[in-house]
Structures are given as structure tokens and as C-alpha cells.
Structure 1
Amino acid sequence: MTDTTSGLGLLRQPKSVLFGPGQRRQLPFITKGIASSVLIVTDARMAASEDFHEIKAGLEAHGIAVSVYSETEPDLPRDNILEVVSRYSSSAAPRAIDAVIGIGGGSCLDLAKVAAIALVNQHDVRDYYGEFRVPAPGLPVITVPTTGGTGAEVTCISVVYDRDKGMKLGIASPHLEPYAAVIDPELTLSCPPGLTAATGADALSHLIEAFTARAKNPTPEEIDTKLYVGKNRLTDLFAGHGLSLLNSGLARVVANPQDINARADVMFAAYAAGMAINTTGTAGAHAIQSPMATYSDAPHGFGVGALLPYIMRFNLPARVDAFAEVGRIFGVADSSSPLIEQAHAAIQRVEELLEIVGAPLDVKAIGLKPEHFDAVADQAMMATRLLANNPRVLTREAVIAILQKGYEGDRSWWELV
């Protein structure tokens, strides 16, 4: 089938999205219409903050009973989900939970989404791994992100680390779509510099992968049964705008972490990325990074960021036009120059943005070693849902070659055939 957007426009999104500084104070008014008793899912750092206590008090002031699970770990281990279900299922909790509120980074938001379906459907979360395997809707979820990067506040996918299986696995279902998202840039002001850098790299990878993803020309049946139906006119709208915002916003946040306008731009870019990948899906960088996490304790954003220069070079022959357009969006490409030169300028600017936030630009820097390449490639081949989104076919041999280039830090204009 021809790889063209064919005029299709498709987005999946929450019922409501509220964006802007201070908008967390609207949370009680959104919540009281759907719940009288809520479970807040967060982590220890956020639970100890003044912002969290303000949010909790605001809910309680409007007569909403609040339970708190504050033990969310990075990369969302399956154990966290089992703990939430054990403590807050209808048979265990002192009062019924009507809705789940996720407050924090991507793992907190992913946990809120999965917990909401697990509390209702009462299955082991392993039953949900994959696409369209959640049998029925769960509790309504409201997401409140505190980082500018993952886009999890608007996506209908959660990623779970299954320790027994030694890998991350995705749960993808329309039933994970949040009821509402409240996106308040003020909540990112206390975000540590390292987390700001990692989530910024993550958002950048989402936007690049969405803008250069495969266009699949889905049939009506495919739209009805698959989440990731390809790059299209509406995802391009969000991805292009997000790239423009990150192009200026990342440097401003690094220069002055208290610049609320810069924080807002980066957070809006992350939201735009989430809106795009909710339909396009992520691609090669994410397929390879997931098994890399077994051998590297680098944050997810640094893992995909370290792969991005090499994935872009691999995909370039299939996406010269798209990368050239990214160069024009960034303002680094002369539209009168050959398209390949414009595309090169775009890729170099992506690398500059990664350097600005302090993200590693090779996989050696995050602890991956050549003896890991075979295992990483084998597991990457299992991420068929993500590989299907990549604009060029990724074989096992290609993954190993990309990892080798990434280990050597070879950012010349190589091509793999």
C-alpha cells in the first residue's frame, strides 16, 4: 500500500483538557461531577510537596474523600499495580473509589490509568499486555502531569515493567483514555534539572517519531480495532507545533528553570506530542530502548535520546521530505536548498537540542555494551506494535548496526542498506 497520509485526520483524546498556570485549582470542580471518593496515585517526592497538599485540601474542601497511594516507582513496576489493587479494590478499601487521579510524571499517570481498569475488571495486569485486550472500561481517570515530557496525560497506553519477564510491556486500549487532563506548568517549577532534561528528550523523541512515522492508510476496520493507525493530517498539526515550541522552549527552561512561560511552552509541546503519538504511536527508538533498560539504569528519556541521532540517520532515506520540513519548522533550513541539506540541518538541530538539555548522545554513555547488542535486538524484534510504525523496516541486523553506530558515536551521514 502506498505510504501517504491520503487526507486522513484522526486523533484520540480525553473528554476535557485544561491547560495553563494555576489551573490545578480547577481540579475539585472537574472531580466533583464524577466522584465523591477518589484515589490519588503519586510518588513520594510529589506527596511531600506543598502543591500536593494544596490539591488534596482543595478536593476535601469540596466534600470529596481522598485516599493516597504515594509509592509509585520509576518505570512503573507491575508490583505497584498489584499493591494498588490489593489495597483499594472494593473488597479491601474502607470506602468505594469512584475515580482515580494521577499526579506526577509518566509512571504515576500510567499507574493511574492501569489501576483504574484493574480495580474494575479484577484481572492480573498481564492479561492486558498488548493491544485492545482490556475487556471493559474502568473508573474515570483525571491526569495531572508534573513533568513536561511523557505526554501520558492524554494517551491511552501505559507501559509496565514486568520484573519476572525482565522487560517493559505496553497496555494499549481506548479504555485507558483519561476522562480529563489538567496541565498546569506551575507544577513543573520544582522539577529537578535531571528530570527536566530526561523528559525534554522524551518529548523530542515523541515529536520526531510522530512526524516521521509511517502513514498506514487504515481501513474502517483497522481504525476500529487498532490504536496506532499512522501519521495523518491532525497528528502532523500537533507534532509540528510541538517541535516549534521545543525548539525555543528547551533552551529557555535550561537557562532559567523558573521561567513560567518557557515551562508552559515545553509542557504544551509534551502535550502536543502525547496527542500525536496517541494515534501514530512511537517507533524505532522506543522499540530498541525498552530492552536496553535491562542493561542501563538511565532514565527512559535519556535512553531514547541517545538512540535518536542514529535512528534518524537510519530512517532518513525514507523520510527526506519530512525531515526537511522539520528543518524549516526549526528555522535552520533554507527552503531553496536541496531537500537533503534541509533534512541534515533538522537532524543536527535535534542533536543540538539534546545537548542543550544535557542528554547523552551515544549509547555508550548510558552504559550499554557491545555484548548486550544481540539480546537487545532480539527483544526489540518483539515490539511489533512499535516496529510497524517505523518508516523503514527494522530488521534484527539493522538494530545491531544502529547500536554499533550509537556505541561509536558515529554521526557522519552513513546509510544502512
Structure 2
Amino acid sequence: MTIFAGLRLPREIVFGAGQRHALPAIARRLGERAFVCTDERFAATETFQTMIQALRAAGLKVHVFDRVLADVPRDSVTACIEGAASFNPQMVIGVGGGSCMDMAKCAALLLSHGGALQDYYGELKVPGPILPVIAVPTTAGTGSEVTPVAVVSDPDKTLKVGISSPHLIATTALCDPDLTVTCPPGLTAIAGADALTHAVEAYTTSRKQADHVLFQERVFVGKNELTDHFALMAMRLLGRSLEKAVLNGADEVARSEVMLGSLAAGCAFGTAGTAAAHAIQYPVGALTHTAHGLGVATVLPYVMTYNLKVAVAEFASIARILGLEDKGRTQEEMAGAAISEVVRLFKAIGITGSLADLGLEADKIEWTAQQALGIGRLINNNPRPLDLTSMRRLVEAAYHGNLAASAM
């Protein structure tokens, strides 16, 4: 087999407790005028105010937009940059969860290239570099600090939409696990389950034909040697620390490992992409208005079971990286054990077990299957092909909580 590897990442990634205090020095290298995007909750914290004061003490002029909303409504981006344009920022800093970092990317995009946000929906529509973005996550799950994607909600579209371009990758990802200590158990669980789903799907995506144009013409190129490294790293860290972080948010080691696992998962799926679990979540999320991480995690065991017959080696590796003993077990038994361990972990941290429990109505199964199948960039990444019949059966299995039925 010819070795193929590819990876797109920020210019620098800084990780560790207390590293948020490096923000002024990092920002100073990019200019003197910083536009900061965050949400109302985090803006009211002493931690955020201290960060802003430190930027100003370092000589930077700072303009703060503190009204970022969940899922980044399209028109909120226009409101965000209205005050920023006259400020003439030299960088955009996103501080918060995935929506805050995605808002920073969208703001930097429109401030750099103008036009309407919908002009850039899809892949590779961003014409060139954007203002430097510093991404400072306060949750551990989305991986947005290192990915080439911004997800927004558009009132004219049923499903959320993505803007995908290497130009959207932050210049610096500044990751301080101390910023996650105040995350409540429920949010810690959902965000961490989102990260584990990213890692599993990145590791089991289809392997593409590695010709010389693949990496130049696609944002997401499937699994390869480098993305596999980060996916396995993410699963190892999350497998041993996510449950601990949910049960005891003051566990500093667990918090650090979960955030590093989320970062590693972002490094993996930002190049490899994700697959069917994410495709199903888009219509499910639109109908049930449940958190993205909760939706993808609910679906993941069913998608893993569907994919099992074509990904035995990968699932067996996942079982080992999750710490399961392989003595006396066949490769197939280890692969099945990986799915069982994901089910166990998700149940232990409170992840919903079925789409019915998420609130999906039975009469929406067909629509959900049709919509999910139409998201080509995700469906084409799935290691086992899906048609409407198999997708319908998969959604039905996830709806009824029947794991065995998703094997098909």
C-alpha cells in the first residue's frame, strides 16, 4: 500500500493550564487592534474581564462583541461585524465554545472579503486568506480551534450549513484546560461525547484514492496516516478521562486530558472529515433542537454497528486504545467490544440511547433518512456505502434503540 498522509493545522497550537495568560503576547505579534467575539455568559465572568484587561495592558486596542448566540444565526454575523468594520481590527479572537470560535471565523471572513455569508456556504468558496484568528476554547468538544469549518444556522434553510476552507483555520489555537473547570457535568458529557465521535468517525472514514489532486481539491480527504495518529490519541485520552471529568469536574488531570483529546480529535477530523453519524444528526437536530454533541453521540453506536463488517481492524484497534484486554479474543470479538465500550461510556455519562428519546417523531424517520443521505460530503466519507433503504433502516434502528438491527 502506498503511504498517503495529509494534515492542515493552525500555525501554532499552545496547550496547558494557565496558557490563557499568553494571549497578550500572541496577539501582539499579529497587530495592535483586536476584535473579540464571545457570548454574554462568559463575558460576565471575572476570567474574561481579566483577559481583556491583560490585552489592553499590553498596549492593544480591544473591541468586544459579547452577543454570540448558539449555532451562529446567519444574521447575527452581520450584526457582529457592523461595529467591527470601523474599528479596523488586525485580528479576531474567539473566546468560548464552538459557536464563539465559529463566529470569530465568520467575522474574520466577512471583514476580509465582504459579501454575504451565504456566498461562502459549502467547500472551498473562500477566495483567500482572512484576518488572523486566535481561537480560545472554554469547552472541550467541538475542536473548532483547529478545524477549517464554521457552522451557521440560516433561517432560509432547514438544516445547519457549513463553510469549509483551509483559510478558516485559526492562526493560533490557545487551549487552557483551566477554562473548562466551570463547565457543568451535562455540558462536559455532551462536548466530550462529541469529541469522541469526531475521533471514531475520523479514524473509520473511507480511505480515498491518494492521487496528487485530492488534497488540493478537497477540504476533507478521508483517513490517512497523520489523521489516524491524532484520532487514536484522542480516543485514548477521552476513553480514560471523560467519565472522570463528568463525575468530578475538579479533577485537573481529567479536565486536561479531555481538552487535549478534543483538540486531537479536531486535528483528525479537520482533515479526514466525519461520516454518517454527523449526517443523521443534521436533520435530527433540525427537528428536535437538541445539542449537536448529544445527537451525534446518540447515533454513533448504531453507525459503528452498521460499519462493523467493513471496519473490523479499525474497531479492534479502537478497543485496544480504549484499554480493553484482547487476550483470548478474536479480531472480530475485539471489534464488537469497541462498540460495547462506547455504549457503556455514553450511558455512564448520560448520553441518550435512542432517537425517540431525543424527541424525534416516528413519522419523521423517512424525512430524516432522505435528508441525511443527501449530505454527500459526509455520506461519501462513510466506510460502508449507504442507499436510501439502508439509511432508513439505520435511522429506524437508532429510533427504536435496537443496536442489533443496525447491523443489516
Give the TM interval when normalised to the shorter protein: over 0.9
Residues 1:180 and 2:176 aligned together? no
Name which of structure 1's ranges 80-89 and 291-300 shifts more when overlaid on structure 2: 80-89
After TM superposition, the structure 1 = structure 2 runs for residues 7-18 of structure 1, keeping only pairs within 5 Å, are 7-18=3-14
Closer/same/farther in 2, CA of residues 118 and 391 from structure 1, 3 Å limit: same
Give, in angstroms, the shift of residue 374 of structure 1: 2.0
Worse-superposed segment, 223-232 or 14-23: 223-232
Query: In structure 1, how many angstroms separate the alpha carbons of the residues matched to 2:291 and 2:391?
Result: 21
Query: Contact 1:102/1:112 (CA < 8 Å) preserved in 2?
Result: yes
Q: Alpha-carbon deviations, 1:66-104, whole Å to 9, x = none?
A: 111111111221122121233322xxx2x2111100001
> What runs of 5+ residues in structure 2 fail to find an aligned partner?
none
Contact 2:40 2:66 in 1 (8 A): yes
| Contact preservation (8 Å) 2:184, 2:249 | no
User: Does 2:192 match 1:200?
Assistant: yes
Which secondary structure state, in structure 1, belongs to the residue aligned with residue 316 of structure 2? helix
If the length of structure 1 is used for normalisation, what is the TM-score?
Answer: 0.95
Gaps of 5+ in 1: none
- Which among 47, 62, 78 is matched to residue 43 of structure 2? 47
Is this contact kept in 2: 1:328–1:335, CA < 8 A? no
| 4+ long deviations beyond 6 Å | none
CA contact (8 A) 1:201 1:301 kept: yes
- Measure, in 2, the Cα distance between the counterparts of 1:376 and 1:183: 36
| More displaced stretch, 374-383 vs 64-73 | 374-383
In structure 2, the residue matched to 1:71 is 67
Match of 1:33 in 2: 29
Conservation of the 8 A alpha-carbon contact between 1:36 and 1:63:
yes
Q: For each residue in 1:313-345, what CA deviation from the matched residue of structure 2 results, as whole angstroms up to 9, or x when unmatched?
A: 111111011001111111224154221110111
Distance between the aligned counterparts of 1:414 and 1:377, measured in 2? Answer: 14
For residue 361 of structure 1, what is the aligned residue in structure 2?
353
Residue in 2 aligned with 1:58? 54
Contact 1:200 1:357 in 2 (8 A): no
- Offset of residue 120 of structure 1: 1.2
The letter of the residue matching 1:378 is Q
For the residues of structure 2 that align with 1:82 and 1:384, how far apart are their CA atoms?
29
How far apart are 1:15 and its partner, in Å?
Answer: 0.4
Please say which of residues 133-142 and 76-85 is displaced more in the overlay. Answer: 76-85
- One-letter amino acid of the structure 2 residue matched with residue 30 of structure 1: I
1:259 maps to which residue? 251
| Residue equivalent to 2:106 | 114
Deviation at 1:414, TM superposition (A): 5.0
Do the aligned residues in 1 keep the contact of 2:398 with 2:406 (CA within 8 Å)? no
Secondary structure (helix, strand or coil) at the match of 1:224 reads helix
Q: 1:10-409 alignment to 2 at 5 Å?
A: 10-89=6-85, 93=86, 95-409=87-401
Superposed displacement of residue 378, structure 1:
2.2
Please report the TM-score for the alignment, with normalisation by the length of structure 2.
Answer: 0.97
Structure 2 CA distance for aligned equivalents of residues 395 and 86 of structure 1: 44
Matched to 1:229, the amino acid is: V
Task: Write the distance in 2 (CA, Å) between the matches of 1:399 and 1:259.
Answer: 40
Aligned residues: 408
* 1:109–1:362 distance in 2 versus 1, CA, 3 Å: same
